[in-house]
Chain A
Amino acid sequence: MRKEPLLEIADLRLDFRQGDRIVEAVRGVDLKVFEGEILGLVGESGSGKSVTALSITGLLPKTASVRSGKIFFDGMDLLASPEEDLRKVRGSRISYVFQDPASSLNPVFTIGEQLMETVVLHQKAAGRARAFDIAVESLKDVGMPSPKELMSAYPHQLSGGMRQRVMIAMAISCRPKLLIADEPTTALDVTVQAQILELLSELKEELSLTVILITHDLSIVSQVAEKTAVMQQGRIVEYGDTEMVYRKPSHPYTKKLIDCIPKIGGR
């Protein structure tokens, strides 16, 4: 049975302006993400994977602009939507988790205040008491022990892994359909990496999330993603079931990436 994709990117082209020069960052990306799957988007730095993700809800930096293409999300034409509508989508239906949880949290506010901000932004009717409950609930969802005490902690009091859990709690607090995780484990050490990846898979099942997992590390993708797309120089060079991509890479670049994964006692 063919389902309708939750997110469809069609022939997306993006430019960066650097003074007089124009640099093409994304050169015709086509991508479909189906509901309930984890898509791994892999590529080296500068391959255009992050800007592709940012362009989905119009979060591009000022120097970048979309030249052509279409992005449909759940029947909504995002590139044609005004900023006002995009803002309502961000955080409530599409949310992000960024690379560095240390700098993604505002140092002068408590965890609780920051979690509640997201809730209040999108559910104006919910009072502070309700927002507090939702925030505590989200912290429980990401497996934080003693969430109530944590609400009054400041970001610097938490470890890197805990901060990233808080960021994920913030991202899922409004029960989004799509979660875009941009290198969510790069700033963390290996054991914490595994925990965060496991958490993402669990949340995907429990909350029927769809996840785009952006990374440069193919081994991460192979652990959790059902589908894999490989980007190189602004194009998607390979796309398919993770198993297939991993076993039988068709593009030479993918082969090289797979060879990069260190193997113990490697042949």
Chain B
Amino acid sequence: MRKLNKLTIFGLVVVAVMASAALFAPFIVRQDPGAIDLQNGLMPPSASHIMGTDSLGRDLFSRMVFGARISLSVGFVAVGISLIAGVIFGSIAGYYGGWVDSVISRFIDIMLCFPAFFLILATIAVLGPSIWNIMIIIGLTSWMGVARLIRAEILSLKEREFVEAARAVGASDFRIITRHLIPNGMGPVLVSATLGVAGAILTESGLSFLGLGVQPPVPSWGNILTEAKSTLGIAWWITVFPGLAILITVLGYNLLGEGLREHFNPHRKQ
């Protein structure tokens, strides 16, 4: 096993820390993230509130940790949806080729023509902002890259002899695709999925910041930032911490994804 480089390990650590913060949120925070304490509004970071409080006196650290839950689960579920859709469309296009491939590939081209963010905004405007809608819509507007990747992988894999050998022992098309081709082609897809999580977190934060994402009082990093906007001049901490969290998490996922891509690249110099 080749060693991972330092940046990749940094990415891995960031991802692990953020994920465990999200998973064990109730055990980490001391204050209820929804508990309002108007007496202590806009308190700067101190021993009792390590990240300070917001204008309603809610503990910012608690809200950040619970916000990690929302932001990360949006990232994961959205990428999960885009993986499923992308792998299904991509593998069908790659395996069957011909007109099936043409139809799916043109559909991918059409989907890529839409500016994704505006498509998301328009859909949310119609369906209403809820966390599930956001996950589904982000997923359904980001599967095209995955589909293209897996299509390309399968195009080359299906010419390999073990596919013919599988056919020769009586495996069906479905079995060949799911058992033999997809497991062999998942490497680059998983790398791009890692990068996709970062993109989904950014999209969610952007939507929430615009008020079209996760709705208050449920905390997400994006909507904490929205609330921070009005008090930016007097309470820097409400802006800085969620901003930093988004920055570091996205950076972490990107470094991890880049590192994995590099790690699995057979042309890399030793």
Contacts and interface: CB of A to CB of B under 8 A. Distances in A.
Contact of A106 (B162, B167, B170, B172): B162
B183 interface: yes
A108 interface: yes
Interface in A96-121: 96, 98-100, 103-109, 117-118, 121
A173 to B, nearest CB: 9
B161 A122 contact: no
Given A96-B165, A109-B183, A103 B170 contact: no
B29 interface: no
Q: How large is the interface on A (under 10, 10 to 19, 20 to 34, 35 or more residues)?
A: 20 to 34
B184 A106 contact: yes
The 7 closest A-B pairs by CB, nearest first: A91-B169, A91-B170, A90-B170, A103-B161, A96-B168, A104-B165, A118-B169
Contact of B171 (A100, A107, A117): A117
A118 B167 CA distance: 10
Contacts of B23: none
Q: Per DSSP, are chain A's interface residues mostly helix, strand or loop, or mixed? A: mixed
Interface of A: 57, 59, 87-92, 95-96, 98-100, 103-109, 117-118, 121-122, 167, 170-171
Interface of B: 160-162, 164-172, 175, 179-180, 183-184
Given A91-B169, A117-B179, 10 more contacts: A59-B164, A59-B168, A87-B171, A88-B170, A89-B170, A95-B168, A95-B169, A99-B161, A106-B162, A121-B169
B190 to A, nearest CB: 13
A170 B166 CA distance: 10
Given A59-B164, A98-B161, A106 B180 contact: yes
B168 A91 contact: yes
A87 to B, nearest CB: 5
Contacts of A88: 170
Contacts of A117: 166, 169, 171, 179
B159 to A, nearest CB: 10
Given A106-B180, A106-B184, A108-B184, A98 B169 contact: no
B106 to A, nearest CB: 21
A257 B213 CA distance: 76
Contacts of A170: 165, 169
Contact of B167 (A59, A99, A105, A122): A59
